[in-house]
Amino acid sequence: MLILISPAKRMRSHVDFLDAKGKPPFLKQSKRLLEELKTKGLVEIQHLLHCNEGIAKEAMQQYQSMDIEYGKVPALLAFDGIQYTYMRPDLFSDEAFRYCEQHLYILSGFYGVLGSMDGVCPYRLELDNPFSASFCKNLYAYWKDDLYRYVAAKDYCLLDLTSKQYGKIIRRYQDDDVRIVTCRFYEKEPSGLKEKGVYVKMARGEMVRWLAESNITRVEDVKAFSQLGYSYSEQHSHHEEFVFIRNAKS
């Protein structure tokens, strides 16, 4: 079983306690994107990233100064968002890090696919940002089936904990002999089941931490997840979708 997760927009430029062990597998493709990004002006970058001027300036500086061959921060520790806050990889044991090295991959609009310990540089580029160039109309067209082929070659069972924008670049190419299981997290309210973005990110992070600490390698064992008050719902689940429900927070 491989676990797939999304990146976060915010990133760390360094960590003090753990060095990267490898390089992203699609560096050549990332370099081509970087060359194009370096040609863009501030207004273009602001439009591309849907951000304010301050963030656009920071992203522009990152593009211009990035030494992509020498990313030093392990990917698992580089991202800083709600999911990663609840995952708490900075507190992982050695065994949990080894588990992630074997089982966890991060999808990325800029890097394509990242192993947990691959060295990365801070960047801003989401898979659904309106990037276009002479060689592609958008990033989905640029990466095509490369990301799916890479992870599917490693395992026939993929646990999808990504957001919709990242998950669809995997699912659109799914083969019959590869099983992809998506986890969904719902709040039980008087009006019915509700999926709430912040809570979903929290649950995904908690699930990754639980998987790593429990050394879960069989997808059926994922059903035992009970962190944050969630429990597996047999009634609402099926072969390719595991549903977890908890009572809504008051």
What pLDDT is stored for residue 13 in this prediction?
Answer: 87
Question: Quick check: 61 pLDDT over 90?
Answer: yes
* Helical ranges in the chain per DSSP H: 27-37, 42-49, 53-65, 75-78, 82-87, 94-103, 139-143, 146-152, 164-171, 197-214
The pLDDT value recorded for residue 26 is 98
pLDDT of residue 84: 97
Question: Rounded to an integer, what distance in angstroms lies between the CA atom of residue 124 and that of residue 75?
Answer: 14
Instruction: List pLDDT tens digits, range 207-221.
Output: 999 999 999 999 999
